[in-house]
Amino acid sequence: MKALLRFLSGAVLFAALILGGAWLVHAAWYEDVWRASLNWIVKHRLWTLSALAAGWWVVVIYALTGRRRERRAAVICMTTDTGTVSVSTRALEDYLLRLRNEFAALLELQPAVNACGADVKVELDVKIRAGTQIPELCRMLQDRVRQQLHGELGLGEPRDVRVNVREIVVASAETQPGVGTADAGGWAGGARM
């Protein structure tokens, strides 16, 4: 919706600038057109003010829809007995990328960590092999993320861990030797499914 508003307001502003510029050049070239235009503006002040107000609102909408929303918190702070420790969300995302090597069914993994105060949300976009037990893999990924953040790094329990399966890849037996659908959902670092 925001992108559509920005596009429409930008198109209106562009058209207004082109038409207004063409009118100014034309009116400046012919003195009688200039006088007639100024007389019309004076005679129809209400229409002129309404058009200016509408143009002002289009500029405001264009400006507001162009603002990018920044991440709320770039670091997560922990207080320990010896002081405060700050961990960047980028470092946590890089740390979670290691999960890609622990699960044989994962072909790609893109983690996103968002923090707001003490609340941590993790979102994993994954590409997986066909034949994988998707609910089981997602549960194992969520458990492993919680274990890494809480158990290994000492952060608080993540409030939400979401797994988004973006693509399921069907691989032929020739391109993936030794990998069948029976072990495609397994976890390389521990128990197999």
Instruction: Read off φ and ψ for residue 113, nearest 5 degrees.
Output: -110, 125
Model confidence pLDDT, tens digit, residues 123-166: 999 999 999 899 999 999 999 999 988 888 877 788 889 999 99
Judgement on whether residues 79 and 165 belong to the same structural domain of the protein: yes
What is the mean predicted confidence (pLDDT) over 25-36?
87
**pLDDT tier at 69 (50, 70, 90 boundaries)?**
low
CA 153, CA 96: separation in Å to the nearest integer? Answer: 11
112 shares its domain with 158:
yes
pLDDT beyond 70 at 50: yes
Question: Which of 65, 94, 117 corresponds to the end of one domain?
Answer: 65
User: How far is CA 110 from each of CA 11, 68, 107, 140, 180, rounded to the nearest angstrom?
Assistant: 35, 21, 10, 16, 24
Distance, CA of 116 to CA of 55 (rounded, Å): 38
Q: Which two tokens stand for residue 129?
A: 């092999």
* Average pLDDT along the chain: 81
Could you tell me if 162 and 97 lie in one domain? yes
Q: Which segments within the chain are labelled E, that is strand?
A: 75-80, 83-88, 106-116, 119-129, 160-169
Number of H helices, E strands in the chain: 6, 5
The helix (run of H) or strand (run of E) holding residue 177 is none
pLDDT given at position 193: 40
How confident is the model over 107-117, as a mean pLDDT?
A: 87
Nearest alpha carbon to residue 51 among 23, 78, 92, 85: 23
**Directed axis angle between helix 45-65 and helix 2-29, to 10°?**
140
The last residue of a domain, from among 65, 84, 101: 65
Q: What is the pLDDT of residue 13?
A: 86
Q: Which of 61-65, 86-90, 147-151, 172-176 is predicted with the least confidence, judged by mean pLDDT?
A: 172-176
| Pair 141, 127: CB distance under 8 Å | no
Domain that holds residue 102: 75-169
**Is residue 79 located within the same domain as residue 161?**
yes
- Using the predicted structure, report yes or no on whether residue 104 has a pLDDT greater than 60: yes
Q: With a threshold of 0.75, does the pTM exceed it?
A: no
With a cut of 70, say whether residue 63 has pLDDT above it: yes
Domain tally, the chain: 2
Q: In what order do the strands lie in the sheet with 160-169?
A: 106-116, 119-129, 160-169
**Inside any domain, residue 191:** no
